Amino acid sequence: MTDVLAVANQKGGVAKTTTVHSLGVASAELGRRVLVVDLDPQACLTFSLGFDPDALDHSLHDVFVRRESVSDVACPVPGVPGLDLLPATIDLAGSEVHLLTRTGREHVLERALQPVLDRYDLVLIDCPPSLGVLTINGLTAANSVLIPLQCEALSHRGVGQLLETIEDVRAFANSDLTVRGIIATMYDERTRHSRHIMEEVEARYGIPVLQPPVRKSIRFAEAPARGKSILQHAPTSPGANAYRQLARTLLEMSAVAGTVG
């Protein structure tokens, strides 16, 4: 069974796109067939993977307006065997208006992905930093949610709101949706504050914080400009090693879930 994970947090700047990119590359390194879906009109994931969103002829928008299928639009990521991208362009902003007019609008991405799921072991969906119809589509298409959480003051305030949205999606669109865990990003192990944020979120919401936390590093800022992940740009860095370990953890969790299912 294909593991479909939505990576969501309505707060921007929490390393959501970096997490999708890095986990996608790390999972491909482990031999998994991976599709990453850029559901954000800003197209940061598409750019970070080395594509120019302004130069693309087709994107997820074309899938949403029924001009193309996922298999027509998805493209291999150069230099990363086993990793494909379903890209975004600014046109995706118009998809939100289009989706609002469609019956069963929250299921459009789920239905579009269905014909290609047997090609992949893992699908990672980069949701936009909002709780609008695009994010709802991502949550409805997924079987689990990963929540990147910046380990800084006030960063966890939106987690409760996201969890309320997840409950709504369970009620009307995807009753099997679960929260796989929180990934602590921009972590500074030197400060008591970062440790406190992690402990408080786990205690307040009862959601596991997956280990290890991802430490702050300038390497994360350097990599996207080169169209690479931190695993390619700085393969021996603590950040790259953290995402490799997180990818192994998710693989183990997926195997257990498949066995239970």
Q: What is the DSSP string of the chain?
A: --EEEEE--SSSSSSHHHHHHHHHHHHHHTT--EEEEE--TT-HHHHHTT--GGG-S--HHHHHTTSS-HHHH-EEPTT-TTEEEE---TTHHHHHHHHHTSTTGGGHHHHHHGGGGGG-SEEEEE--SS-SHHHHHHHHH-SEEEEEEESSTTTTTTHHHHHHHHHHHHHHT-TT-EEEEEEEESB-TT-HHHHHHHHHHHHHH---EESS--B--THHHHTGGGT--HHHHSTTSHHHHHHHHHHHHHHHHHHHHHHH-
What pLDDT, in 10s, does the model give residues 44-53?
999 999 999 9
Structure tokens belonging to residue 162? 């996201």
Query: What is the distance, to the nearest Å, from the Cα of residue 154 to the centroid of all Cα atoms in its chain?
Result: 22
Res 90: pLDDT:
94
Of 80-84, 139-143, 228-232, the one with minimum mean pLDDT is: 228-232
Torsion of CA 192, 149, 223, 91, to 10 degrees: -160
What pLDDT, in 10s, does the model give residues 131-167?
899 999 999 999 999 999 987 766 677 788 889 999 9
Q: Is the pLDDT of residue 253 over 60?
A: yes
Percent residues over pLDDT 90 in the chain:
68
For 250, other C-beta atoms within 10 Å of its C-beta total: 25
Number of residues assigned to the chain = 261
Cβ burial, residue 232 (10 Å; 0-12/13-18/19+): middle
What pLDDT, in 10s, does the model give residues 162-210?
899 999 999 999 999 999 999 999 887 767 777 787 888 888 888 999 9
The mean pLDDT value of the chain amounts to: 91
Cα separation of 127 and 16, whole Å? Answer: 8
Report the CATH number that the domain containing residue 91 is assigned in CATH.
3.40.50.300
Res 212: pLDDT:
93
The amino acid at residue 154 is L
Q: In which band, very low, low, confident or very high, does the pLDDT at 260 lie, cut at 50, 70 and 90?
A: very low
Rounded average pLDDT over 119-138: 95
Res 55: pLDDT:
95
Of 62-66, 216-220, 241-245, the one with minimum mean pLDDT is: 216-220
Res 112: pLDDT:
97
Structure tokens belonging to residue 23? 């986990």
Res 258: pLDDT:
63
Res 219: pLDDT:
84
Identify the domain containing residue 208 by its residue range.
3-260
User: What is the tally of structural domains in the chain?
Assistant: 1
Q: In which band, very low, low, confident or very high, does the pLDDT at 127 lie, cut at 50, 70 and 90?
A: very high
Sign for the CA dihedral angle at 35, 40, 43, 44 comes to negative
